[in-house]
Structure 1
Amino acid sequence: MSRFALQNWKHMDYIGVEVENPPLISYLAQAKEECSFMPLTSLELLKQHGNKVKRLREGNLKELNTVKPTNSSGHQALSTAGIMKLARAQLFVLNSQKADVLSSVASCIGAQSALGSEFSEDSGLAILLQAAAENVVNQQYVYSRKLLNKCNHFSSKSGYPAQRIVHYFAEALREKIDQECGMVASLEDLEGETRRPIDEKLALVSLQPGMMASQQENPFSLVSQFTAIGSIRATVATARRVHLINFGLDNGSHWTLIMQDFAAQYNYPIELLKITAVGTSKQMMEETVKWLSAFADSISLPFTFNIVVSDLKDLKEDMFKLEADEVVAVYLDRRLWTLLAWPNYLEALIAVISKLKPRVMVVKEMEASTNNPIFLERFHEALIFFSGMFESIKDCMDNHIFYRKLTEEVYCRNMIRNIITAEGKERVHRHERVAFWRTLFAKFGFVETALSQSSFRRASMFLKRSALYSSFTIYMDGKCLILGWKRTPFISVSAWKFQYDSE
């Protein structure tokens, strides 16, 4: 957590106990009206662009890459995800006309790119990429390779967000073709780079300095953390002994928010704050213990820290050292998706958590549906999700180019590759939307509860102060907070109470 964030958190008024029917932030309601997250189907997109589509159906293919919405300042109005959706609709038109995509689109890209038309080139690339994916499904591998070769010629991992997206998705599709044709993967990709196994944990450690440095430019983490942690704080506000269980500790800086509030609390002085971290890196958690303990000493907070070194699938209730007089709260920060490939392990974990009888369980997950067993549906879902992600990374990490490249070229690249090329248990990168989690949690006695409005107001203040405020989208799905970028949802934050506690 940045020093700026901590200072502002400390200086804002805190409402520890929730008031009845708290007022909803006006700008949130406005954002919900103006920026609907409902996914657009190809037919809906065709309706939106009725006049253009009519001319396309009449055979005027020259207009395919001249659809170029702009705003008053002359800049591109469509987001990268919007370009991908529109391209899917345009591909639908071409397919309905039984047109040759390669000859119809590729020539337009070359002609338009000479004129410096960024949108035209990106739109054409998006059409070629999605046509290649359709041809892979139909086992038209020769034609798909031709489409991907054209994608490779015009895309780049150092270009605009759409060009970078096409670069990585085309790379993954080529590997999928190699697998399905029984070909041994080449030791070098098209750029001549030797392929090496990617150590994601090592990559994430390398990314930490950049992520922390870019935090003030990227309010996503602040908004989600303030809402999540603040909701836990509000739920345990009057407890004397609090046990926070954190699945996935990262650097632990988010807990300093609660620690400061507990230290300044006089009406209900806390007797002990216990944090239990669950993870596989003992060294990283021990380093976190040291500085959080030092922080607790500096603010005179009674504090203790436990470490549980274990995979999520191997957790048992007796590992948490629960005491009868403590109030338990659980925080799951983008960890549940790691077990989606193993439903039995996922359900076993939720069963263990339910036995802990937490006062509240706060869950933060990626809001996407890349767990679809149908390849083409999974491909399109991932394409939209990462299109939004790449654009937000570019804008939010503009002052940290090295870490932006590291995020895309290592972490995102590996996720895209796994989603596109792997099947069965090997496809470990899977995500689900909040509706899935609602169904799962209900099976184990968890009921959804409202997030802390006071904490949400705090978080919203940071969002409104951001220079990128107009690009962020935020709305409520029932009681769940959804954060996104230019209509593309990214993160869900939800709070749950165990049924036993609410009776």
Structure 2
Amino acid sequence: MLMEEDVEERNCMFQESLALEATEKLFYDIIREKYLPPDDQYTAPFIEENSGNPDENGSIDFSSYSRNATSDGNCVELGRNFDVGEYKSPHVAPQPTCQSSFSSSSSAKRVPNIFNDSPNNVVDKVKKQHADKYFRDGWRGKKNSHPWDLESKEERSSKQAEMFDRVLLCGPEEDENALRETWQNETTKTLQQDGQSKGSGKSHGRKKGGKKDLVDFRSLLTLCAQAVAADDRTSANKQLRQIRQHASSMGDGMQRLAHYFANSLEARLAGSGAQMYEAITTKASAANVLKIYHLLIVVSPFVKVTNFFSNKSIAEVAEKSERLHVIDFGILYGFSWPSLIQRLSSRPGGPPKLRITGIDLPEPGFRSAERLEETGRRLADYAKCFNVPFEFNALAQKFETVQIEDLKLDNDEVLAVRSRYRFRNLPDETVVAESPRDSVLTLIRKMNPDVFIHAIVNAACDTPFFMTRFREALFHYSALFDMLEENVPRNILERMLLEREVYGQEIMNIIACEGLERIERPETYKQWQVRNERIGFRQLPLDQEVVEEAKEWVKSCLHKDFIIDEDGQWLRLGWKGRITYAMSSWKPAC
């Protein structure tokens, strides 16, 4: 991804597809015709591990980027030994094979190495200092901003590939720990200087007469939302003006939260929610997704624990199988799968033949599956490096339009299905008579998978009642913004990107949009429990080894206010008493 010439100008494929659909619907509204969402599907051919040359359309082949392999699949430039938390530099002497180890050390009390293994310290010091500075400062949006600008294209590509691997495979734990400590120290100093009360829901406003007035943003936002709901424009505008006096996208956590909620309330009041959401969703680039992913890896358990839970569950059901088929609803850029490939490569008796079917929304234009195909090529490159037989099938279509014939199921394969936070974007029965949520779950049950891994955003924001939805969104995003405030300095680029291009867009959609235009529809894990059981799934017990390892890692490496616990076979993650994410595994009941 980092080597693609136009990476900064290319939008995130998820947001770009949604923006296209919103534009089409707006056009149909103008000409007063009924809008019918496109049902076109594009099924890309299998991408196998030996499909290494550019195709006739000039698609990029990632197998040539600094991860070269010999004819028998052994890596000669990149030595790796990591699942979720370990990294080895490409400057390590050539290794005969891509080996890996996952067993926890029994000789010392330490965080299990699934999260905390350390790399061999053989990286050239000068280059490593450049790389570390590159991570701490964030990726720049312009070319010629890297510390190796004057180097050759080949050298730059090699180092960019190294940086990509460090993020994608979660980098060296020492670097992450050092970065967490630096950020937390800087953040603590800032909070002490401000004299901010933790968890109060109040934030400092602007100075008046040499003192700062405390502003209760939650109360102000709630009063403003009530005025908007009642279409009391005078009162709503008065509240908005008061909020705007103190809110800021560059301020503390509550000021930033108030800024994005005020934007959303103002758009709802003006009746321009769909247009505003469309405008802001077209700005996210693929490179920014990687920056945000790296931030979440470093400061929270949300990404690492979810990936660990998913990969461990899949590896266990495929422990003795010769063939494994993984179907990923919402694969996006496939960031979580290289660690599974590495895990499978270390399996006693050799790895299985791995087939991944990646499903995601089609892109606008004639090549609707282009981004998915690029994801497949990247994963094929990792599979070649780790000597894992691999195929990739891209399905560029809406989840609810997928047919079981599209998936090319084979009874001789172990089948694993995963949804990682993306079912929240499916409409339900309050919007469409035939609920797409139930349709997709029914399809998964018909597949009869060996395991269905379901990770969800835990927030009751799917209600059609505006004030109920508003309060739930306010509590949910207050926890997320407060988590960032206490763990990440305010001037970090990745934090601002996460708040603006993820949380800010989600808030805009939840607050300012209605009907089919509202695509952010998270439910609580208890609501998903009822829905899954109604469709015909039974919940599988949690793996206590996974739970204990994850708890120990969070306790050892992260802020004390992070939550990780269990409830009814759901593994729950959250911050300061607020559960924000949950995951569990399922099988068809019969």
TM-score, with structure 2 as normaliser: 0.62
> 2:222, 2:208 → 1: CA distance?
20
> 2:435, 2:490 → 1: CA distance?
43
1:305 equivalent among 392, 395, 409: 392
> 1:463, 1:260 → 2: CA distance?
23
TM-aligned CA deviation for residue 4 of structure 1: 8.6
- For structure 2, list consecutive stretches of 5 or more residues without a partner in the other structure: 1-79, 88-98, 106-111, 113-190, 363-368
TM-aligned CA deviation for residue 464 of structure 1: 2.6
State yes or no: 1:237 paired with 2:319. Answer: yes
* Structure 1 range deviating more: 448-457 or 376-385: 448-457
* Aligned-partner residue type, residue 352 of structure 1: L
TM-aligned CA deviation for residue 244 of structure 1: 0.9
Query: Which residue is equivalent to 2:356?
Result: 275
Relative distance call for 1:136 and 1:72 in structure 2 (3 A) is closer
> 2:314, 2:370 → 1: CA distance?
27
TM-aligned CA deviation for residue 202 of structure 1: 5.8
> 2:373, 2:282 → 1: CA distance?
16
Q: Deviations over 1:166-219 (max 9, x none)?
A: 12212222222233xxxx89x9xxxxxxx6843637626242231243222333
Query: Which residue is equivalent to 2:15?
Result: none
Relative distance call for 1:449 and 1:304 in structure 2 (3 A) is same
State yes or no: 1:248 paired with 2:334. Answer: no
Query: Which residue is equivalent to 1:481?
Result: 571
> 2:335, 2:104 → 1: CA distance?
19
State yes or no: 1:83 paired with 2:201. Answer: yes
2:255 equivalent among 144, 163, 175: 163
TM-aligned CA deviation for residue 355 of structure 1: 1.1
State yes or no: 1:319 paired with 2:319. Answer: no
- For structure 1, list consecutive stretches of 5 or more residues without a partner in the other structure: 16-24, 26-70, 88-107, 188-194
Whether the 8 Å CA contact 1:334–1:364 is kept in 2: the answer is yes
State yes or no: 1:440 paired with 2:560. Answer: no
Relative distance call for 1:206 and 1:196 in structure 2 (3 A) is farther
TM-aligned CA deviation for residue 222 of structure 1: 0.5
Q: Deviations over 1:76-103 (max 9, x none)?
A: 4532xx517xx9xxxxxxxxxxxxxxxx
Query: Which residue is equivalent to 1:60?
Result: none
Q: Deviations over 1:438-458 (max 9, x none)?
A: 111112210111233333344
TM-aligned CA deviation for residue 156 of structure 1: 1.2
* Aligned-partner residue type, residue 436 of structure 2: Y
State yes or no: 1:115 paired with 2:193. Answer: no
Query: Which residue is equivalent to 1:339?
Result: 426
Query: Which residue is equivalent to 2:372?
Result: 285
> 2:256, 2:559 → 1: CA distance?
24
> 1:394, 1:198 → 2: CA distance?
27
> 1:406, 1:308 → 2: CA distance?
29
Q: Aligned residue pairs: how many?
A: 404
> 2:396, 2:223 → 1: CA distance?
46
Whether the 8 Å CA contact 1:223–1:460 is kept in 2: the answer is no
Whether the 8 Å CA contact 1:471–1:485 is kept in 2: the answer is yes
Query: Which residue is equivalent to 1:490?
Result: 580
Q: Give secondary structure in 1 for the equivalent of 2:279.
A: coil
Query: Which residue is equivalent to 1:190?
Result: none
Matching of residues 445-484 of structure 1 within 5 Å: 445-466=536-557, 468-484=558-574
> 1:251, 1:497 → 2: CA distance?
26
> 2:280, 2:314 → 1: CA distance?
33
> 1:128, 1:374 → 2: CA distance?
20
Q: Give secondary structure in 1 for the equivalent of 2:468.
A: helix
Q: Give secondary structure in 1 for the equivalent of 2:298.
A: coil
Write 1 or 2 for the structure with the bigger share of helix: 1
* Aligned-partner residue type, residue 285 of structure 1: L
TM-aligned CA deviation for residue 14 of structure 1: 6.6
* Aligned-partner residue type, residue 86 of structure 2: Q
> 2:508, 2:398 → 1: CA distance?
24
Whether the 8 Å CA contact 1:168–1:416 is kept in 2: the answer is yes
Q: Deviations over 1:357-406 (max 9, x none)?
A: 00110011110011122211111100111111122234445387223222
Q: Deviations over 1:12-64 (max 9, x none)?
A: 4179xxxxxxxxx9xxxxxxxxxxxxxxxxxxxxxxxxxxxxxxxxxxxxxxx
Query: Which residue is equivalent to 1:95?
Result: none
Matching of residues 52-131 of structure 1 within 5 Å: 76-79=196-199, 82-83=200-201, 114-116=210-212, 120-121=214-215, 123=216, 125-131=217-223
State yes or no: 1:13 paired with 2:103. Answer: yes
Relative distance call for 1:235 and 1:451 in structure 2 (3 A) is farther
Query: Which residue is equivalent to 1:207?
Result: 288
Whether the 8 Å CA contact 1:277–1:306 is kept in 2: the answer is yes
Whether the 8 Å CA contact 1:230–1:452 is kept in 2: the answer is no
Query: Which residue is equivalent to 1:378?
Result: 469
Q: Give secondary structure in 1 for the equivalent of 2:248.
A: coil
Query: Which residue is equivalent to 1:191?
Result: none
Q: Deviations over 1:250-290 (max 9, x none)?
A: 332322232223222225x4442211111135222222222
> 2:316, 2:104 → 1: CA distance?
9
TM-aligned CA deviation for residue 436 of structure 1: 1.3
1:260 equivalent among 336, 342, 365: 342
> 1:451, 1:201 → 2: CA distance?
39
2:303 equivalent among 221, 233, 240: 221
TM-aligned CA deviation for residue 469 of structure 1: 2.3
